[in-house]
Amino acid sequence: MNHRDIHLLDLPVEILLNILRKLNNMDVLYSLIGIEGLDLLAQDEKFTNNHNFVFASNDSINEPMLNRFCNSILPRIQYNVKCVVLETKTMDRILRAGIYPNLTQLKIFKFQANIFSKFCTDELLLRDNFKKQITELTLLDDCGPETEAIDETTNAYIKWFDFFENLNSLSCIESCMSGDPVLSLIDLP
């Protein structure tokens, strides 16, 4: 028997899916979307529901990769996306890349209250119905040089409670320790 003529696409779909499930879903999408024979396989729910645009290795997505996701990958899989993990600086581009009618979870790393507050008033969010869709919001502040004053951040939280109509879970995580509370609910309406 000559096995030299066996190709990856000759494997049964179940075996290909098992192999791909062992890989990072972002890598699968980036590598296989647009490749004949593997394109539809890469669009399986396993690879298209959750997207993490914050990578531990370099702490940020690189520009060519972001361009490809925003220009060709996200528009093709926008209906499957349920959760997006991103940074405030890439939020606008990523969320504008598709409509995302099933997006319910938004996780923002290195968030900046002033940028996010402006984004919450943007017509994009109103057009795409984000204010009703988002039920889980997670904000991670790295306490770097871009950290806002406590009052400004607290005002931003109040705006988000009001803006996101169906918010069931708001997690605010500060990665550095400080003596000041990030959010106080005392004397708020």
Residue 180 has pLDDT above 80, yes or no: no
Pair of tokens at residue 12: 């049964």
Q: Give 24-74 pLDDT, tens digit per residue.
A: 888 899 988 988 878 888 888 888 999 998 865 455 578 888 999 999 999
Quote the mean pLDDT of the chain.
Answer: 78
- Give the per-residue pLDDT at 156: 67
Return d(Cα 15, Cα 21) in angstroms, integer: 10
Q: What percent of the chain has pLDDT over 90?
A: 20
- Give the per-residue pLDDT at 181: 47
H/E segment holding residue 153:
helix 150-163
How is the beta sheet containing 83-87 ordered, strand by strand?
50-52, 83-87, 105-109, 136-141, 169-174
pLDDT band at residue 179 under the 50/70/90 scheme: very low
- Using CB atoms within 10 Å of the CB of residue 122, give its burial: 0 to 12 exposed, 13 to 18 middle, 19+ buried: middle
Q: 50-64, 91-105, 147-161: lowest mean pLDDT where?
A: 147-161
Pair of tokens at residue 89: 């600086």
Residue type, 157: Y
Residue 49 in contact with residue 103, Cβ under 8 Å? no
Residue 141 has pLDDT above 70, yes or no: yes
Residue with tokens 């997505």: 61
Residues 6+ apart with CB under 8 A from 160: 116, 117, 120, 137, 167, 170
Q: What is the pTM of this model?
A: 0.78
Smallest CA-to-CA distance from 149 within 175, 107, 183 is with 183
Return d(Cα 176, Cα 142) in angstroms, integer: 7
Residue 107 has pLDDT above 70, yes or no: yes
User: What Cα–Cα distance (Å) separates residue 78 from each residue in 84, 123, 130?
Assistant: 11, 19, 14
- Give the per-residue pLDDT at 66: 92
Domain boundary assignment for the chain: 1-47, 49-189
Q: 21-35, 42-56, 112-126, 131-145: lowest mean pLDDT where?
A: 112-126
pLDDT band at residue 117 under the 50/70/90 scheme: low
- Using CB atoms within 10 Å of the CB of residue 8, give its burial: 0 to 12 exposed, 13 to 18 middle, 19+ buried: exposed
Return d(Cα 132, Cα 139) in angstroms, integer: 18
Pair of tokens at residue 70: 């925003």
